[in-house]
A and B are shown apart, each in its own frame.
Chain A
Amino acid sequence: MSVQPKTPEITNDSMEDRLYTVKYDDPGDSHLDVKVPDICADCETNDCVSVCPANVWREGDDGVPHIAYENCLECSSCRFACPYDNVVWEYPETGSGVTFKHG
């Protein structure tokens, strides 16, 4: 008899598959940016990258994060996380951005 319980099957779909992201219009301009790229280039923590639940902030070659803003869930974590207050966070243009059906 087997004594080791098997972990039942769990679906962890890829991020792209899981986003219920209705972009109800063209996303328009990015609502996210960095204020001073030089600060990012010197920033070792990249807290914006580690906190983002949607993999929007990605480490860039030059130390300045690449921002895949169209995946943003508008949670605002990156805004609070950056220790240098270096995140520009605006609301996406009206008519764009994420829509949750359930919330």
Chain B
Amino acid sequence: MSPALETDTPDEPNYDDAFDAIVVGAGLAGSAAALTMADRGLEVLVIERGSSPGAKNVFGGVLYTPTIRELTDFEDAPLERYVAERRFSMLSDEDETAVSLRPGEWHREPHNDSYTVLRGEFDEWFAEQAVDAGATLVTETTVTGLVRERGRIVGVETDRPDGTIRAPYVVLAEGGNSLVSEGANLKETERRENVAVAAKEVLEFPERDGVIEDRFRLVDDAGVSYHYFGEGAVGDAFGGGFIYTNEDTVSVGVAYRIEDAVAADQSPEETLNAFKTHPAVAPLVRNARTVEYSAKTIPEGGAESIPDLVHDGAAIVGDAAGLVLNNGVHLEGTNMAVESGYHAGNAIARAADRDRTDADALRAYPDALEESFVVQNLERYAWMMDAVEADRDLLFEDLPRAFADAGTEYFRIDRDPKEVHAENAKHAVLDALGGWSGAAKLAFRYRKMVT
């Protein structure tokens, strides 16, 4: 850990009004907000409950970097690999049907702004950028509540002795398990239909040399992001499995809705084990050793779940504000966390210039977020959840099997002419879809994925 990040243990933690803003949580959203405010001359205190930033964090992981790259010098960031291939697989219980993309452009900088990272290292580095810009970081300190005066948020309570700290602005960047925001009635607890449970392992290969490169067909810093859905990934649950390659480890996990997890007859850990033994996945993780098992929740409520983003004296950013896009094809939260932290930080700096702390003065934040890709993307896919719910059996069970059957039929080698196989293949898919009209309806329902 860098000296700047060493836990500051003040004997008399009397920081009252020493800071312009307090950030709760040194995740991606919190550090982006802190960095932005510090750059604009504000005195910022970041409070993180882990022993260092990232010590409590879990994600899949691909970090999407368009904004982070603008905010700081990205040269020595601890990146693992850039994403050179994205692959989407439908798994039935024993088949895989995959679509894979390896565009040449992704090999060139900035590599489509998609890098695998490990949060233990990355979050610490990013927090350090905020510290370098002038922010103060305290770790091993949990914010337990907000201080209010006449309706206005004027500081935080922490679990340190005499742990109340006052400041004109508080940024809530505490992630999806947002006990502080909920405790202060700034948002409601998310319903379990809108939250996913994720179990993840980081795997290491004892025979190390070139294993990852060979198995995933890679050279140098190139990496892959593989996504799996369907019965063979997480049963009939809404969610999927994933594999991401790090420099010399591989991240493997499953994520699916809590609603489905409680209905399933296996635990998330068992689901992950089953995923790892699927015939399409097993060869990729063969002979690997687990070096870390972790779990986390993902808020997936989308646009409808975004709470009021600003209050008198406070702003909510990142996962705490439900800013995650998961439509089955895109799983993005890191870019949204950073973007929201940046806009919130800017809005606070502007309000501070005018000596105002009321919610109206902070409206620049939600306004900017609405104009940005964050809210636009979330709104664009707001219809998805209901559609997928209605088509659940078709999407997760019938289609993966039908596509596998169609492929098997199409390429079948026997003494029938190709015409027969092509016809059988067509029927395998059409039957699953309910004929041409069923196919047309499905295409219409999901047209927004491509148009």
B192 within 8 Å of A by Cβ? yes
Q: Cβ of B287 and Cβ of A77 under 8 Å apart?
A: no
Q: Cβ of A10 and Cβ of B49 under 8 Å apart?
A: no
Q: Cβ of B286 and Cβ of A93 under 8 Å apart?
A: no
Query: Which residue in B140, B286, B295 is a CB contact (below 8 Å) of A95?
Result: B140
Q: Cβ of B49 and Cβ of A18 under 8 Å apart?
A: no
Give every chain A residue within 8 A of B199 (Cβ-Cβ). Answer: 53
- A11 CB, min distance to chain B CBs, angstroms: 6
Given known contacts A76-B176, A101-B292, A103-B58, A81 and B261 CB-to-CB distance under 8 angstroms? yes
Instruction: Give the nearest-CB partner of A54 in chain B.
Output: B295
B446 within 8 Å of A by Cβ? no
Given known contacts A18-B290, A20-B293, A102-B120, A80 and B56 CB-to-CB distance under 8 angstroms? no
- B63 CB, min distance to chain A CBs, angstroms: 12
Contact with A along B54-66 (1 / 0, CB 8 A): 1111110000000
Given known contacts A79-B177, A98-B56, A10 and B285 CB-to-CB distance under 8 angstroms? yes
A window 51-79: CB within 8 A of B: 51-55, 73-77, 79
Q: Cβ of B119 and Cβ of A10 under 8 Å apart?
A: no
Give every chain B residue within 8 A of A75 (Cβ-Cβ). Answer: 58, 197-198, 294-297
Q: Cβ of A52 and Cβ of B258 under 8 Å apart?
A: no
Give every chain A residue within 8 A of B286 (Cβ-Cβ). Answer: 8-10
Give every chain B residue within 8 A of A74 (Cβ-Cβ). Answer: 56, 177
A15 within 8 Å of B by Cβ? yes
A window 29-62: CB within 8 A of B: 45, 47, 50-55
Q: How far is the CA of A85 from the CA of B191 in the complex (A)?
A: 10
Give every chain A residue within 8 A of B273 (Cβ-Cβ). Answer: 10, 12
B window 153-188: CB within 8 A of A: 159-160, 176-177, 179
Q: How far is the CA of A99 from the CA of B159 in the complex (A)?
A: 18
- A10 CB, min distance to chain B CBs, angstroms: 5
Q: Cβ of A81 and Cβ of B290 under 8 Å apart?
A: no
Q: Cβ of A8 and Cβ of B283 under 8 Å apart?
A: yes
B81 within 8 Å of A by Cβ? no
B307 within 8 Å of A by Cβ? no
- B339 CB, min distance to chain A CBs, angstroms: 21
Q: Cβ of B297 and Cβ of A50 under 8 Å apart?
A: no
Query: Which residue in A17, A93, A103 is a CB contact (below 8 Å) of B120?
Result: A103
- The tally of residues in A whose CB lies under 8 Å from a CB in B reads 45
Q: Cβ of A55 and Cβ of B267 under 8 Å apart?
A: yes
Contact with A along B184-212 (1 / 0, CB 8 A): 00000111100101110110000000000
Query: Which residue in A52, A99, A103 is a CB contact (below 8 Å) of B51?
Result: A99
A window 3-34: CB within 8 A of B: 5, 7-13, 15, 17-20, 24
- A73 CB, min distance to chain B CBs, angstroms: 4
Q: Cβ of A103 and Cβ of B295 under 8 Å apart?
A: no
Q: Cβ of A51 and Cβ of B51 under 8 Å apart?
A: no
Given known contacts A10-B277, A102-B249, A20 and B282 CB-to-CB distance under 8 angstroms? no
- B2 CB, min distance to chain A CBs, angstroms: 17
Q: Cβ of A53 and Cβ of B56 under 8 Å apart?
A: no
- A100 CB, min distance to chain B CBs, angstroms: 5
Q: Cβ of B190 and Cβ of A80 under 8 Å apart?
A: yes
- B85 CB, min distance to chain A CBs, angstroms: 22
Given known contacts A73-B295, A81-B261, A10 and B279 CB-to-CB distance under 8 angstroms? no
Query: Which residue in B57, B118, B267, B290 is a CB contact (below 8 Å) of A52?
Result: B267
A94 within 8 Å of B by Cβ? yes
Q: How far is the CA of A90 from the CA of B142 in the complex (A)?
A: 10
Given known contacts A55-B267, A100-B120, A73 and B294 CB-to-CB distance under 8 angstroms? yes
Q: How far is the CA of A34 from the CA of B27 in the complex (A)?
A: 29
B window 424-449: CB within 8 A of A: none
Instruction: Give the nearest-CB partner of B197 in chain A.
Output: A77
Q: How far is the CA of A31 from the CA of B118 in the complex (A)?
A: 27
Q: Cβ of B290 and Cβ of A53 under 8 Å apart?
A: no
Give every chain A residue within 8 A of B269 (Cβ-Cβ). Answer: 15, 53-55
Q: How far is the CA of A19 from the CA of B57 in the complex (A)?
A: 15
Give every chain A residue within 8 A of B101 (Cβ-Cβ). Answer: none
B window 280-319: CB within 8 A of A: 282-283, 285-297
Given known contacts A7-B277, A10-B282, A76-B297, A102 and B292 CB-to-CB distance under 8 angstroms? yes
What residues make up the interface of A, taking CB atoms closer than 8 Å to B? Answer: 5, 7-13, 15, 17-20, 24, 45, 47, 50-55, 73-77, 79-81, 83, 85, 89-91, 93-95, 97-103
User: Knowing that A74-B177, A91-B179 are A-B contacts, what are 16 other residue pairs whose CB atoms are under 8 Å apart, sorted by A's residue number?
Assistant: A9-B286, A9-B287, A11-B288, A45-B262, A76-B176, A80-B192, A81-B261, A91-B142, A91-B144, A94-B141, A95-B51, A98-B56, A99-B51, A101-B120, A102-B120, A103-B294
Question: Would you list 19 pairs from A and B whose C-beta atoms are within 8 A, ordered by A residue?
Answer: A8-B283, A12-B273, A20-B293, A20-B294, A45-B262, A50-B267, A74-B177, A75-B294, A77-B261, A80-B192, A91-B179, A94-B140, A95-B51, A100-B55, A100-B56, A100-B292, A101-B292, A102-B249, A103-B119
